[in-house]
Amino acid sequence: MNQNQFEHTYRKQWDQFQQLLEILEKKEREAGKPEVPLSDFPQRYRQVCNHYGLAQTRHYSPALVDMLHGLVLRGHRQLYRKKNGLLWQLVHFLVRDFPRTVRQHGCAFWLAFLLFYGPAVAIGTATYFDSVLIYSLMGENEVTSMETMYNPNSDKVGRSLKRSSETNFSMFGYYILNNISIGFRTFAGGIVFGVGAVFLLLFNGLMIGGVAGHLSHAPYSLTFWQFVLGHGAFELTAIVISGAAGLVIGYSILRPGPYRRLDSLRLKAPTALRLVMGAALMLVCAAFIEAFWSPVVLPPSVKFSVAGVNWTLVTLYLLLMGRNSRNKNES
Amino acid sequence: MTVRLDTIVRYQTPEGVELSLLPAGPFVRGMAWFIDFAIRAVCYIVITIFLSWLGGIGKGIIMIGLFAIEWFYPVLFEVRNGMTPGKKAMGLQVVHDDGTPVSWSSSLLRNLIRCIDLLPLFNMVGFFTMLLNSRFQRLGDLAAGTVVVYFKDATRVITIPDYPPQPAPIPLTLAEQRLILDFCERSGDLSDDRRRELASLLAPLCGSKSPENRLLAYGNWFLKGKGAA
């Protein structure tokens, strides 16, 4: 069969295939019904692949081969594209996948937990008993600003002087920008063999622990703990999980097992991403609570009970969610 | 196996045909990044100016906007068609290394890890990582399994000077035909002497009398179909 015959015989099929492609690529939403049903797409695609191979081996003209290559490339993209059902995925993610992934990476979680709370508790104890130690962690101005933030006489608890005029909503934006960026950076730092994640966990642990220890004296201690415990449940846990995500990718490069380091990284990266996106959603909750609930002045008993409820909720969520449907989905 | 001179990535599909992708190098990607950077900067300025009228709520939205643009600006464009405006302007597209369109998770991955590629300044980590592998992938691309490729317009029309078509004396492979077509396509930009000099390298194929015109004749033959003149 020469090229002209070949083109003559199959031109119609290629046109029909192209029509299907355009519908799938959503360029022609309003175009009427295609000549062939969409369900024929895989079969048509394989035919075009076949024609492309034939055209190549028979040394047909480059223009024809290029045209078929273009069709194959577009068809390949449609047939093998990863499906996005965004909203549904989000729901599944929240009620099942995220807590399950956290549990599956218990080691990374607890290691990140230790890297964060270890130095936090140590330095916190130290700054509690040694009231000048805090100055080796941060400058004098910062310490003063922390102290004014949690001074019980301050009418805007939890705000530094510079931010004392901000409304709750603007603080919400500030917490989103600041805290989620920290979470993302902790995760991304993991790609440098885990070093970045470890560093940021330790650093944040030291800073938060140091401040907490220093402010655990009268007159600050009651205002401080009332303010931070409520959103801390979400915020601190999310920082630990972001760190765990960083550790997961770091570890996948350091100990690739049977894979090449790059392949091992690529295998683990989507799981780590799941952890850090979950952590980001938790940080959105944290920002909401920190901006709208934490500054509200209420009797300490109420504030502390709510904080207790939050910590219990986070723990139960991570421990229990998505357990029952496991067998159904993995079979 | 022949020595590879180009950076084309070949991927074999389950149907047994081979697709080729042409990864984009650091310079053109840098240009794309710069265009995106300019667009982002304009976005920052515009939302800051407009929303600062709204007081507290406005300030909150500004900061959420900053956060969203900083981390998700590329993602929103890439999941639609693989192109941020900068990439589109430079003719680039992000795809998985098997040629399929980039997914949410891959796009998120490559753009979260961007903050390491940016370090310590001017994208240095990303730049050196790109030089160290054959597909010009930065760290984020390596983790997500994505490549930035030239978006090839499949319907590109090759135009060559008209000449009465003539079949080649021996059957030529596709690669050889393409080579001759490339010559024909560029022959307008070459001086007559240079054309003759290049074409005379193929003396066994096109004889010694005006070989460049013989090549044009073959090119016309390949392009316009066998005997379709």
The pLDDT, as a whole number, for residue B218 is: 82
Last residue of a domain, one of B88, B115, B150: B150
Q: Do A61 and B64 lie within an 8 Å CB cutoff?
A: no
B123 interaction partners in chain A (CB closer than 8 Å): none
The answer on B123 and B22 residing in a single domain is yes
Lowest mean pLDDT among B80-84, B123-127, B218-222: B218-222
Please count the other Cβ atoms lying within 10 Å of the Cβ belonging to residue B197.
Answer: 13
**Angstroms from B223 CA to nearest CA on chain A:** 6
pLDDT for B40: 92
Domain end marker among B101, B133, B150: B150
Same domain, B100 and B117: yes
Structure tokens at B177: 């035909």
Q: Is the predicted pLDDT of residue B42 greater than 90, yes or no?
A: yes
What gap in Å lies between CA A133 and CA A135, rounded to an integer?
5
Per-residue three-class SS string for chain B: CCCCCCCCEEEECCCCCEEEECECCHHHHHHHHHHHHHHHHHHHHHHHHHHHHHHHHHHHHHHHHHHHHHHHHHHHHHHHHCCCHHHHHHCEEEEECCCCECCHHHHHHHHHCHHHHCCCCCCHHHHHHHHCCCCCCCHHHHHHCEEEEECCCCCCCCCCCCCCCCCCCCCCCHHHHHHHHHHHHHHHHCCHHHHHHHHHCCHHHHCCCCHHHHHHHHHHHHHCCCCCC
Buried b (16+ CB within 10 A) or exposed e, A120-145: beebbebbbeeeeebeebbeeeebeb
Check residues B3 and B216 and name the one with the higher pLDDT.
B216
Tell me how many domains chain B contains.
2
What is the average per-residue pLDDT within B192-200?
82
Of B58, B139, B172, the CB nearest to A59: B172
Q: What is the mean pLDDT of chain B?
A: 82
**pLDDT of B207 higher than 90:** no
B57 with B123, same domain: the answer is yes
Per-residue pLDDT, averaged over B180-209, amounts to: 79
pLDDT level of residue B11 (50, 70, 90 thresholds) = confident
Show me where the domains of chain A are located: 10-79, 86-330
Of all helices (H) and strands (E), which one includes residue A163?
Answer: none
Do residue B193 and residue B216 come from a single domain?
A: yes
Which structural domain range is residue B222 located in? Answer: 157-229
Question: Residue A155 burial (CB < 10 Å; 0-12/13-18/19+)?
Answer: exposed
How far A140 CA sits from the closest chain B CA (Å)? Answer: 28
Q: Is B177 found in the same domain as B108?
A: no
Same domain, B90 and B168: no
Instruction: Establish if B167 belongs to a structural domain.
Output: yes
Residues of B within 8 A of A44 (CB-CB) are none
Q: Tell me the nearest-neighbour CA distance from A107 into chain B, angstroms.
A: 21
pLDDT band at A331 (very low <50, low <70, confident <90, very high): very low
Where a domain ends, among B93, B116, B150?
Answer: B150
Instruction: Looking at A25-85, list the stretches that DSSP marks H as alpha helix, in order from N- to C-terminal side.
Output: 41-57, 62-79
**Residue where the block lists tokens 């480059």:** A62
Contacts of A277 in chain B (CB under 8 A): 108
The closest CB to that of B63, out of A56, A67, A176, belongs to A176
The model carries a pTM of 0.76
pLDDT for res A312:
93
Angstrom distance (rounded) from CA A204 to CA A183: 11
Summarised one tens digit per residue, pLDDT across range A67-77 is: 888 888 888 88
Do the Cβ atoms of B71 and A84 come within 8 Å?
no
Q: Which residue in chain A has the smallest CA separation from B145?
A: A266
Helix B174-186 and helix B211-223, axial crossing angle in degrees, nearest 10? 120
In DSSP terms, which residues pair with B149 in a beta bridge?
B23, B93
What is the arithmetic mean of pLDDT over A150-170? 71
Do B117 and B206 fall within a single domain? no
Tell me the C-alpha distance between A199 and A194, whole Å. Answer: 9
Q: Mark A27-56 as b/e (b = at least 16 C-beta within 10 Å).
A: eeeeeeebeeeeeebeebbbbbbbbbbebb
Find where tokens 């690669």 sit: B175
The arithmetic mean of pLDDT across residues B45-67, rounded, is 83
Contact A61 B177 (CB under 8 A): yes
pLDDT above 80 for B55: no
- 8 Å CB contact between A117 and A207: no
How much is the average pLDDT of B98-118?
A: 87
Q: Tokens 């047994």, residue? A: B16
Q: Choose the weakest-confidence range: A21-35, A291-305, B38-52, B109-123.
A: A21-35
Question: In the prediction, which pLDDT does A305 show?
Answer: 92
Q: Which amino acid is at A16?
A: Q
In-domain check, residue B92? yes
Lowest mean pLDDT among A84-93, A292-301, A306-315, B38-47: A84-93
What is the maximal distance between C-alpha atoms in chain B?
A: 82
Return the higher-pLDDT residue of A112 and B14: A112
Average pLDDT, chain A: 85
- Average the pLDDT over B175-200 and give the result: 81
Give the pLDDT mean for B143-155. 79
Residues B109 and B197 in one domain: no
- Tell me the average pLDDT across A71-92: 78
User: Phi, psi (5° rounding) for residue B5?
Assistant: -100, -20
**What digits encode the pLDDT tens for the residues A208-253?**
999 899 888 878 888 888 888 889 999 999 999 999 999 999 999 9
Q: Would the CB atoms of B223 and A61 count as touching at under 8 Å?
A: yes
Question: What phi and psi, each to the nearest 5 degrees, are found at residue A287?
Answer: -60, -40
Q: Kindly list the distances between the CA atom of residue A260 and the CA atoms of A255, A263, A267, in Å, as whole numbers in the listed order.
A: 10, 5, 10
Question: In 3D, which of A64, A126, A186 has the Cα closest to residue A118?
Answer: A126
Residues B125 and B162 in one domain: no
Do B186 and B137 lie in one domain? The reply is: no
- Check residue A164 and give its pLDDT: 63
Residue B217 forms part of a structural domain: yes
Domain for residue B128, yes or no?
Answer: yes
More confident residue, A136 or B74: B74
- Give the pLDDT confidence of A257-283 residue by residue, as tens digits: 899 998 999 999 989 999 999 999 999
Whether residue B1 is contained in a domain is answered as no
Q: Return the pLDDT at B31.
A: 92
Highest mean pLDDT: which range of A91-100, B66-75, B117-126: B66-75
CB B226 within 8 A of CB B167: yes
The helix (H) or strand (E) run that includes residue A321 is: none
Distances (CA, A) of A10 to A54, A167, B105, B222: 12, 68, 38, 19
Asked, for residue B2, whether it belongs to a domain, the answer is no
> What's residue B225's pLDDT?
59
Q: What is the largest CA-CA distance in chain A?
A: 94
